[in-house]
């Protein structure tokens, strides 16, 4: 029964030898005797393969960690965070050393990267805002969502968290900030005439999600971003058509 719950993992491990796949499954089964935990690990690994679409060398690295006893959920969570950074993949093992006993602890991966950065063990700077800084930004009109977007973009190591927020306070668009970090303008097929459309994006997560989609599909980020803009426009058009009309507005 336990191994049947891990069939999806077996299928997902096609790039590994049959022996290697079976060994990985056996290791996970031996460590987790609870059926619900096995199902959760199964789903997490399938998410890793299908949704995060790791490169072959990245997948082999994560598989090796899992085979050696690393917690499936934790190591994949770290990997997903790492995708937003410019760090070497081996940083995952250093971050894993911070795994808390309480698996429900939030933001431990962020805190681990920050602590490693403070110790000089990362290639780039990772930082957080103090309560006072956060409150001051909110008082200045910066939302918590803005701070979350800035946090994700800062992980790339090009502009730090404070610099990104300050740019927003100076009315820079999310696209302008992201272009400095990810260099969209150098992509093949970039059209300067579309810049005004990109600059009109209010939700920075639309850009972040387009970056993730491009990584999964192999399409250019700008292509994914254009698709997202078109989908949003279509959705807004439908919403406008569905707005209920007050009976009084129909009286002549």
pLDDT tens profile 186-211: 877 677 778 888 999 999 999 999 99
pLDDT attached to residue 56: 95
Query: Quick check: 30 pLDDT over 70?
Result: no
163-184 pLDDT tens trace: 999 999 999 999 999 999 999 8
Nearest-angstrom CA–CA distance, 30 and 61: 21
d(CA 53, CA 216): 6
Q: Is residue 101's pLDDT more than 60?
A: yes
Least confident window among 78-87, 137-146, 199-208, 226-235 = 226-235
Predicted local distance difference test score (pLDDT) of residue 151: 96
**CA–CA distance, 4 with 202 (Å, rounded to integer):** 46
Output the CA–CA distances (angstroms, integers) from residue 99 to 96, 103, 134, 135, in the order listed: 5, 8, 26, 29
pLDDT of residue 5: 40
Whether the pLDDT of residue 21 is over 90: the answer is no
Could you give the percent of the chain with pLDDT greater than 90?
Answer: 62
Q: For the stretch 186-214, what's the b/e string if a residue is b when 16 or more beta carbons lie within 10 angstroms of its beta carbon? A: eeeeeeeeebeebeebeebebbbebbbbb
User: 3-class DSSP state for residue 154?
Assistant: helix
Residue 68 CA to residue 206 CA, distance in Å, equals: 37
Q: Say what the pTM is.
A: 0.80
pLDDT at position 180 is 95
- In sequence order, which residues have a C-beta less than 8 Å from that of residue 87 and are 6 or more positions away? 122, 123, 124, 157
- The pLDDT assigned to 12 comes to 44
For the chain, the average pLDDT equals 85
CB 166 within 8 A of CB 136: no
Q: Could you say which DSSP state residue 84 is in?
A: T
Contacts 24+ apart (CB under 8 A), 56-62: 56/15, 58/89, 59/15, 60/15, 60/16, 61/89, 61/92, 62/92
Mean pLDDT of 155-166: 96
């Amino acid at each position: 029964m336990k191994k049947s719950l891990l069939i999806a993992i077996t299928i997902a491990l096609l790039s590994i030898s049959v022996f290697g796949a079976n060994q990985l499954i056996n290791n996970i089964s031996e460590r987790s005797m609870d059926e619900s935990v096995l199902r959760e690990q199964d789903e997490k690994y399938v998410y890793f393969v299908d949704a995060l679409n790791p490169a072959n060398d990245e997948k082999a690295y994560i598989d090796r960690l899992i085979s050696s006893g690393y917690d499936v959920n934790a190591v994949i969570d770290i990997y997903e965070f790492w995708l937003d950074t410019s760090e070497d993949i081996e940083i995952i093992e250093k971050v894993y050393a911070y795994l808390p006993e309480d698996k429900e602890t939030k933001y431990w991966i962020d805190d681990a990267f920050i602590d490693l950065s403070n110790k000089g063990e990362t290639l780039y700077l990772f930082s957080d805002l103090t309560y006072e800084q956060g409150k001051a930004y909110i008082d200045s009109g910066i939302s918590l969502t803005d701070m979350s977007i800035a946090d994700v973009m800062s992980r790339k190591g090009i502009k730090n968290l404070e610099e990104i927020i300050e740019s927003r306070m100076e009315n820079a668009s999310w696209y302008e900030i992201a272009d400095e970090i990810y260099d969209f303008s150098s992509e093949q097929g970039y059209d300067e005439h579309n810049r005004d459309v990109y600059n009109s994006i209010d939700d920075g997560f639309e850009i972040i999600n387009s970056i993730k989609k491009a990584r999964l599909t192999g399409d250019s980020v700008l292509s994914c971003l254009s698709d997202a803009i078109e989908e949003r426009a279509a959705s807004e058009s439908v919403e406008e058509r569905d707005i209920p009309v007050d009976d009084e507005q129909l009286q002549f």
